[in-house]
A and B are shown apart, each in its own frame.
Chain A
Amino acid sequence: MTPPRRQRRSPGPGRPAAPAPDDAPTPDGAPAKEGEVRNPERLFVIGGEGGGERADIDLVTLIVARADPPVSATPEQAALLRLCAAPLSVAELSAYLSLPFSVVTVLLTDLLAAELVQARAPIVRQKVADRNLLEAVMHGLQKL
Protein backbone atom coordinates (compact mmCIF):
# COMPACT_ATOMS: atom_id res chain seq x y z
CA MET A 1 0.00 0.00 0.00
CA THR A 2 1.32 3.46 -0.80
CA PRO A 3 0.44 6.53 1.22
CA PRO A 4 -1.49 9.47 -0.26
CA ARG A 5 0.69 12.28 -1.59
CA ARG A 6 0.79 16.01 -1.09
CA GLN A 7 2.57 18.86 -2.84
CA ARG A 8 4.68 21.32 -0.91
CA ARG A 9 3.84 25.02 -0.99
CA SER A 10 6.06 28.07 -1.02
CA PRO A 11 5.84 31.14 1.21
CA GLY A 12 2.69 33.02 0.26
CA PRO A 13 2.93 36.23 -1.78
CA GLY A 14 2.75 39.34 0.36
CA ARG A 15 2.86 37.29 3.49
CA PRO A 16 6.04 38.13 5.36
CA ALA A 17 7.79 35.15 6.86
CA ALA A 18 7.71 36.63 10.35
CA PRO A 19 6.09 38.24 12.09
CA ALA A 20 2.91 38.48 10.06
CA PRO A 21 -0.15 40.57 10.85
CA ASP A 22 -2.98 38.63 12.39
CA ASP A 23 -5.51 36.97 10.20
CA ALA A 24 -8.65 38.18 11.85
CA PRO A 25 -11.34 38.54 9.25
CA THR A 26 -12.68 42.06 9.02
CA PRO A 27 -16.11 42.29 10.60
CA ASP A 28 -17.34 45.04 8.32
CA GLY A 29 -17.62 43.33 4.97
CA ALA A 30 -14.30 44.72 3.75
CA PRO A 31 -12.69 42.73 0.94
CA ALA A 32 -11.71 39.29 2.13
CA LYS A 33 -8.01 38.77 2.67
CA GLU A 34 -6.18 36.00 0.94
CA GLY A 35 -6.90 32.61 2.44
CA GLU A 36 -10.21 33.70 3.82
CA VAL A 37 -12.17 32.73 0.78
CA ARG A 38 -12.24 29.08 1.70
CA ASN A 39 -13.80 29.75 5.08
CA PRO A 40 -17.30 28.38 5.16
CA GLU A 41 -18.44 30.98 7.67
CA ARG A 42 -17.35 34.29 9.06
CA LEU A 43 -15.68 34.17 12.43
CA PHE A 44 -15.54 36.91 15.01
CA VAL A 45 -13.88 37.03 18.36
CA ILE A 46 -16.27 38.08 21.09
CA GLY A 47 -15.41 41.60 22.17
CA GLY A 48 -13.22 42.01 19.13
CA GLU A 49 -15.74 43.88 17.02
CA GLY A 50 -15.02 47.58 16.68
CA GLY A 51 -13.55 47.47 20.17
CA GLY A 52 -11.25 50.10 21.58
CA GLU A 53 -7.50 50.02 21.81
CA ARG A 54 -5.99 46.71 22.85
CA ALA A 55 -2.57 46.32 24.30
CA ASP A 56 -0.21 44.15 22.23
CA ILE A 57 -0.47 40.99 24.30
CA ASP A 58 0.74 37.53 23.35
CA LEU A 59 -0.35 34.19 24.84
CA VAL A 60 3.07 33.95 26.48
CA THR A 61 3.51 37.54 27.61
CA LEU A 62 4.41 37.21 31.29
CA ILE A 63 2.28 39.31 33.63
CA VAL A 64 3.32 40.41 37.11
CA ALA A 65 1.18 42.39 39.54
CA ARG A 66 2.67 45.70 40.67
CA ALA A 67 0.18 46.37 43.44
CA ASP A 68 -2.54 44.80 45.52
CA PRO A 69 -6.03 45.02 44.02
CA PRO A 70 -7.44 48.51 44.72
CA VAL A 71 -10.91 48.70 46.28
CA SER A 72 -12.20 49.94 42.93
CA ALA A 73 -11.12 46.74 41.14
CA THR A 74 -13.79 44.55 39.56
CA PRO A 75 -13.93 40.90 40.74
CA GLU A 76 -12.20 39.82 37.52
CA GLN A 77 -9.43 42.38 37.94
CA ALA A 78 -8.94 41.46 41.61
CA ALA A 79 -8.74 37.76 40.75
CA LEU A 80 -6.26 38.41 37.99
CA LEU A 81 -4.06 40.58 40.21
CA ARG A 82 -3.99 37.90 42.91
CA LEU A 83 -3.03 35.21 40.39
CA CYS A 84 -0.04 37.10 39.09
CA ALA A 85 1.62 37.94 42.36
CA ALA A 86 4.37 35.83 40.74
CA PRO A 87 4.88 36.01 36.94
CA LEU A 88 2.26 34.12 34.95
CA SER A 89 1.65 33.89 31.20
CA VAL A 90 -1.54 35.26 29.70
CA ALA A 91 -2.40 31.70 28.62
CA GLU A 92 -2.21 30.53 32.25
CA LEU A 93 -4.30 33.51 33.40
CA SER A 94 -6.92 32.58 30.81
CA ALA A 95 -6.89 28.95 32.02
CA TYR A 96 -7.09 29.69 35.75
CA LEU A 97 -9.71 32.42 35.33
CA SER A 98 -11.71 30.31 32.82
CA LEU A 99 -11.94 33.37 30.63
CA PRO A 100 -11.32 33.51 26.87
CA PHE A 101 -7.95 34.86 25.78
CA SER A 102 -9.58 37.93 24.21
CA VAL A 103 -11.38 38.79 27.46
CA VAL A 104 -8.14 38.49 29.44
CA THR A 105 -6.50 40.79 26.89
CA VAL A 106 -9.18 43.43 27.48
CA LEU A 107 -8.78 43.12 31.27
CA LEU A 108 -5.01 43.45 30.95
CA THR A 109 -5.26 46.50 28.71
CA ASP A 110 -7.03 48.35 31.55
CA LEU A 111 -4.68 47.03 34.24
CA LEU A 112 -1.63 48.04 32.19
CA ALA A 113 -3.05 51.54 31.68
CA ALA A 114 -3.65 51.80 35.45
CA GLU A 115 -0.08 50.57 36.03
CA LEU A 116 -1.35 47.76 38.23
CA VAL A 117 0.51 45.10 36.25
CA GLN A 118 3.76 44.81 34.36
CA ALA A 119 4.01 42.90 31.06
CA ARG A 120 7.20 41.06 30.06
CA ALA A 121 7.16 40.62 26.30
CA PRO A 122 7.91 37.20 24.78
CA ILE A 123 10.84 36.47 22.52
CA VAL A 124 9.38 35.92 19.07
CA ARG A 125 10.86 34.22 16.04
CA GLN A 126 13.29 36.36 14.06
CA LYS A 127 14.29 36.01 10.42
CA VAL A 128 17.68 34.90 11.68
CA ALA A 129 17.15 33.22 15.01
CA ASP A 130 19.32 34.06 17.99
CA ARG A 131 21.60 31.04 18.33
CA ASN A 132 22.28 31.67 22.00
CA LEU A 133 18.55 31.50 22.66
CA LEU A 134 18.19 28.23 20.72
CA GLU A 135 21.16 26.74 22.54
CA ALA A 136 19.69 27.73 25.90
CA VAL A 137 16.43 25.99 25.02
CA MET A 138 18.29 22.85 23.89
CA HIS A 139 20.25 22.82 27.10
CA GLY A 140 17.04 23.13 29.10
CA LEU A 141 15.38 20.28 27.18
CA GLN A 142 18.37 18.03 27.73
CA LYS A 143 17.78 18.25 31.48
CA LEU A 144 14.24 16.93 31.14
Chain B
Amino acid sequence: MDFKSSDTIPGPRTEDRLPHTAEAAVKIVIVGGFGVGKTTMVGSVSEIRPLTTEETMTQAGIGIDDNYGSASKTATTVAMDFGRISITDELVLYLFGTPGQERFWFLWNGLFEGALGAVVLVDTRRLEVSFDVMGRLEERGVPFVVAVNTFPDAPRYPMAELRTALDLPEEIPILDCDVRRRASSRDVLMTLMRFLHSLALKGALT
Protein backbone atom coordinates (compact mmCIF):
# COMPACT_ATOMS: atom_id res chain seq x y z
CA MET B 1 0.00 0.00 0.00
CA ASP B 2 1.26 3.43 -0.85
CA PHE B 3 1.59 5.11 2.49
CA LYS B 4 2.67 8.67 3.06
CA SER B 5 5.30 9.48 5.64
CA SER B 6 3.55 9.85 8.96
CA ASP B 7 4.70 13.45 9.33
CA THR B 8 2.47 14.53 6.46
CA ILE B 9 -0.75 13.13 7.90
CA PRO B 10 -3.02 15.90 9.11
CA GLY B 11 -4.60 14.71 12.31
CA PRO B 12 -7.55 16.27 14.10
CA ARG B 13 -7.36 20.02 14.65
CA THR B 14 -6.66 20.93 18.25
CA GLU B 15 -10.33 21.79 18.81
CA ASP B 16 -11.38 18.44 17.32
CA ARG B 17 -9.46 16.39 19.89
CA LEU B 18 -11.47 14.50 22.46
CA PRO B 19 -10.62 14.99 26.14
CA HIS B 20 -8.64 12.20 27.81
CA THR B 21 -11.70 11.53 29.95
CA ALA B 22 -13.64 10.24 26.90
CA GLU B 23 -14.52 6.74 28.03
CA ALA B 24 -17.07 5.34 25.65
CA ALA B 25 -18.94 6.08 22.46
CA VAL B 26 -22.39 5.28 21.12
CA LYS B 27 -23.59 5.44 17.53
CA ILE B 28 -26.67 6.26 15.53
CA VAL B 29 -27.06 5.34 11.88
CA ILE B 30 -28.66 7.63 9.31
CA VAL B 31 -29.66 5.46 6.41
CA GLY B 32 -31.35 6.27 3.15
CA GLY B 33 -31.14 6.10 -0.61
CA PHE B 34 -28.80 7.93 -2.94
CA GLY B 35 -28.84 11.73 -2.55
CA VAL B 36 -31.53 11.81 0.14
CA GLY B 37 -29.51 14.12 2.42
CA LYS B 38 -27.54 11.78 4.73
CA THR B 39 -24.27 13.69 4.51
CA THR B 40 -26.05 17.03 4.87
CA MET B 41 -27.73 15.83 8.04
CA VAL B 42 -24.48 14.50 9.54
CA GLY B 43 -22.78 17.80 8.71
CA SER B 44 -25.50 20.01 10.14
CA VAL B 45 -25.27 18.53 13.66
CA SER B 46 -21.64 17.37 13.83
CA GLU B 47 -19.11 19.26 15.94
CA ILE B 48 -16.36 18.19 13.54
CA ARG B 49 -16.23 18.61 9.79
CA PRO B 50 -17.74 15.34 8.50
CA LEU B 51 -15.13 12.69 7.83
CA THR B 52 -15.20 9.65 5.59
CA THR B 53 -14.29 6.08 6.38
CA GLU B 54 -13.89 3.68 3.53
CA GLU B 55 -13.93 -0.01 3.04
CA THR B 56 -12.50 -1.82 0.07
CA MET B 57 -13.72 -5.13 -1.11
CA THR B 58 -13.36 -7.36 -4.05
CA GLN B 59 -16.28 -8.54 -6.09
CA ALA B 60 -16.14 -11.90 -7.70
CA GLY B 61 -18.66 -12.89 -10.33
CA ILE B 62 -21.02 -15.39 -8.76
CA GLY B 63 -20.99 -17.78 -11.74
CA ILE B 64 -20.73 -21.52 -11.57
CA ASP B 65 -18.69 -22.99 -8.75
CA ASP B 66 -16.11 -24.91 -10.78
CA ASN B 67 -15.37 -21.69 -12.53
CA TYR B 68 -15.06 -19.73 -9.35
CA GLY B 69 -11.32 -19.97 -8.80
CA SER B 70 -10.66 -18.23 -12.07
CA ALA B 71 -13.34 -15.59 -11.74
CA SER B 72 -11.92 -12.12 -12.21
CA LYS B 73 -12.10 -9.84 -9.22
CA THR B 74 -12.46 -6.09 -9.16
CA ALA B 75 -11.90 -3.83 -6.18
CA THR B 76 -14.76 -1.62 -5.07
CA THR B 77 -14.64 1.09 -2.46
CA VAL B 78 -17.64 1.95 -0.37
CA ALA B 79 -17.53 5.18 1.62
CA MET B 80 -19.47 6.30 4.64
CA ASP B 81 -19.57 9.83 6.05
CA PHE B 82 -19.72 10.37 9.75
CA GLY B 83 -19.78 13.11 12.36
CA ARG B 84 -19.46 13.44 16.09
CA ILE B 85 -21.28 15.09 19.00
CA SER B 86 -19.67 15.19 22.45
CA ILE B 87 -22.39 14.41 24.99
CA THR B 88 -20.33 14.74 28.17
CA ASP B 89 -16.62 14.66 28.97
CA GLU B 90 -16.98 10.88 29.14
CA LEU B 91 -19.50 10.06 26.41
CA VAL B 92 -19.34 10.68 22.66
CA LEU B 93 -22.05 10.16 20.05
CA TYR B 94 -21.12 9.26 16.47
CA LEU B 95 -23.49 9.60 13.51
CA PHE B 96 -22.97 7.48 10.42
CA GLY B 97 -24.55 8.28 7.07
CA THR B 98 -24.91 4.87 5.51
CA PRO B 99 -25.88 3.96 1.95
CA GLY B 100 -29.19 2.19 1.64
CA GLN B 101 -27.89 -0.88 -0.16
CA GLU B 102 -27.92 -3.56 2.48
CA ARG B 103 -25.38 -5.72 0.69
CA PHE B 104 -22.66 -3.32 1.83
CA TRP B 105 -23.62 -3.19 5.49
CA PHE B 106 -21.55 -6.20 6.53
CA LEU B 107 -18.41 -4.25 5.62
CA TRP B 108 -18.67 -2.32 8.85
CA ASN B 109 -18.88 -5.09 11.38
CA GLY B 110 -21.71 -4.46 13.83
CA LEU B 111 -22.63 -1.06 12.38
CA PHE B 112 -26.36 -1.60 12.84
CA GLU B 113 -26.31 -4.28 15.52
CA GLY B 114 -24.50 -2.09 18.01
CA ALA B 115 -26.21 1.21 17.13
CA LEU B 116 -28.67 2.71 19.60
CA GLY B 117 -31.06 3.12 16.68
CA ALA B 118 -31.44 4.43 13.16
CA VAL B 119 -32.97 7.34 11.28
CA VAL B 120 -34.47 6.35 7.91
CA LEU B 121 -34.31 9.41 5.67
CA VAL B 122 -36.88 9.36 2.89
CA ASP B 123 -37.58 11.47 -0.16
CA THR B 124 -41.24 11.44 -1.24
CA ARG B 125 -40.18 11.62 -4.90
CA ARG B 126 -38.65 8.16 -4.48
CA LEU B 127 -40.39 6.67 -1.50
CA GLU B 128 -39.93 3.09 -2.65
CA VAL B 129 -36.12 3.20 -2.42
CA SER B 130 -36.50 3.22 1.37
CA PHE B 131 -38.83 0.20 1.53
CA ASP B 132 -36.08 -2.38 1.54
CA VAL B 133 -34.01 -0.49 4.10
CA MET B 134 -36.94 -0.34 6.50
CA GLY B 135 -37.64 -4.04 6.03
CA ARG B 136 -34.04 -4.91 6.74
CA LEU B 137 -34.02 -2.87 9.95
CA GLU B 138 -37.23 -4.60 11.05
CA GLU B 139 -35.71 -8.01 10.34
CA ARG B 140 -32.63 -7.12 12.37
CA GLY B 141 -34.64 -5.64 15.22
CA VAL B 142 -33.01 -2.21 14.88
CA PRO B 143 -35.36 0.49 16.23
CA PHE B 144 -35.82 3.41 13.84
CA VAL B 145 -37.77 6.59 13.17
CA VAL B 146 -38.64 7.96 9.72
CA ALA B 147 -37.65 11.49 8.72
CA VAL B 148 -39.05 12.96 5.52
CA ASN B 149 -36.48 15.32 4.01
CA THR B 150 -38.66 17.85 2.23
CA PHE B 151 -37.25 18.88 -1.11
CA PRO B 152 -39.08 21.79 -2.78
CA ASP B 153 -40.35 19.84 -5.79
CA ALA B 154 -41.29 16.72 -3.82
CA PRO B 155 -44.92 15.66 -3.51
CA ARG B 156 -46.46 16.44 -0.12
CA TYR B 157 -48.59 13.74 1.42
CA PRO B 158 -50.55 13.98 4.65
CA MET B 159 -48.63 12.19 7.40
CA ALA B 160 -51.43 9.65 7.85
CA GLU B 161 -51.18 8.73 4.19
CA LEU B 162 -47.40 8.36 4.44
CA ARG B 163 -47.76 6.21 7.54
CA THR B 164 -50.15 3.93 5.69
CA ALA B 165 -47.94 3.81 2.62
CA LEU B 166 -44.89 2.93 4.72
CA ASP B 167 -46.96 0.47 6.79
CA LEU B 168 -45.58 2.06 9.95
CA PRO B 169 -47.05 0.96 13.26
CA GLU B 170 -48.61 3.79 15.26
CA GLU B 171 -45.76 3.92 17.79
CA ILE B 172 -42.99 4.54 15.25
CA PRO B 173 -42.49 8.30 14.86
CA ILE B 174 -42.51 9.90 11.43
CA LEU B 175 -41.70 13.58 10.97
CA ASP B 176 -40.81 16.21 8.37
CA CYS B 177 -37.37 17.76 8.40
CA ASP B 178 -34.99 20.01 6.55
CA VAL B 179 -31.63 18.37 7.13
CA ARG B 180 -29.77 21.53 6.12
CA ARG B 181 -30.90 23.12 9.37
CA ARG B 182 -29.15 22.09 12.56
CA ALA B 183 -32.27 22.55 14.70
CA SER B 184 -34.31 20.37 12.38
CA SER B 185 -31.70 17.59 12.30
CA ARG B 186 -31.39 17.79 16.07
CA ASP B 187 -35.19 17.42 16.40
CA VAL B 188 -34.99 14.23 14.34
CA LEU B 189 -32.31 12.83 16.65
CA MET B 190 -34.30 13.88 19.73
CA THR B 191 -37.36 12.13 18.32
CA LEU B 192 -35.33 8.96 17.88
CA MET B 193 -33.98 9.22 21.44
CA ARG B 194 -37.45 9.77 22.91
CA PHE B 195 -38.69 6.76 20.96
CA LEU B 196 -35.81 4.62 22.27
CA HIS B 197 -36.56 5.87 25.75
CA SER B 198 -40.21 4.84 25.45
CA LEU B 199 -39.09 1.39 24.26
CA ALA B 200 -36.78 1.13 27.27
CA LEU B 201 -39.63 2.03 29.61
CA LYS B 202 -41.84 -0.58 27.99
CA GLY B 203 -39.07 -3.17 28.19
CA ALA B 204 -38.58 -2.44 31.87
CA LEU B 205 -42.29 -2.96 32.53
CA THR B 206 -42.55 -6.38 30.92
Contact = CB atoms under 8 A, between A and B. Distances in A.
Contacts of B5: 75
Interface string B172-200: 00000000001000100110011011011
B92 A43 contact: no
For the side of the interface on B, what is the size category? 35 or more
Contact of B75 (A15, A46, A101): A46
B129 to A, nearest CB: 10
B164 A18 contact: no
Main secondary structure of the interface of A (DSSP, over half): loop
Given A89-B94, A131-B200, A134-B196, A4 B128 contact: yes
Contacts of B45: 144
Given A11-B140, A120-B24, A124-B113, A96 B161 contact: no
Contacts of B6: 75-76, 78-79, 82
A102 B52 contact: no
Contacts of A64: 20
Contacts of A45: 55-57, 107
Contacts of B23: 62, 120
Contacts of A57: 109
B196 A129 contact: yes
B57 A129 contact: no
Contacts of A91: 51, 53, 82, 94, 96
Given A4-B128, A7-B167, A24-B106, A41 B59 contact: yes
B155 A141 contact: no
B40 to A, nearest CB: 16
A39 interface: yes
Interface in B1-35: 1, 3, 5-6, 9-12, 17-20, 22-27
A104 B54 CA distance: 11
Interface in A79-110: 79, 82-83, 86-89, 91-92, 94-103
B201 A22 contact: no
Interface in B125-142: 127-128, 131, 134-135, 138-142
Contact of B9 (A8, A22, A62, A79): A79
Interface in A49-63: 57-62
5 contacts: A15-B140, A40-B62, A124-B115, A131-B200, A134-B116
Interface of A: 1-12, 15-20, 22-25, 29, 35, 38-46, 57-62, 64, 75-76, 78-79, 82-83, 86-89, 91-92, 94-103, 120-125, 127-131, 133-142, 144
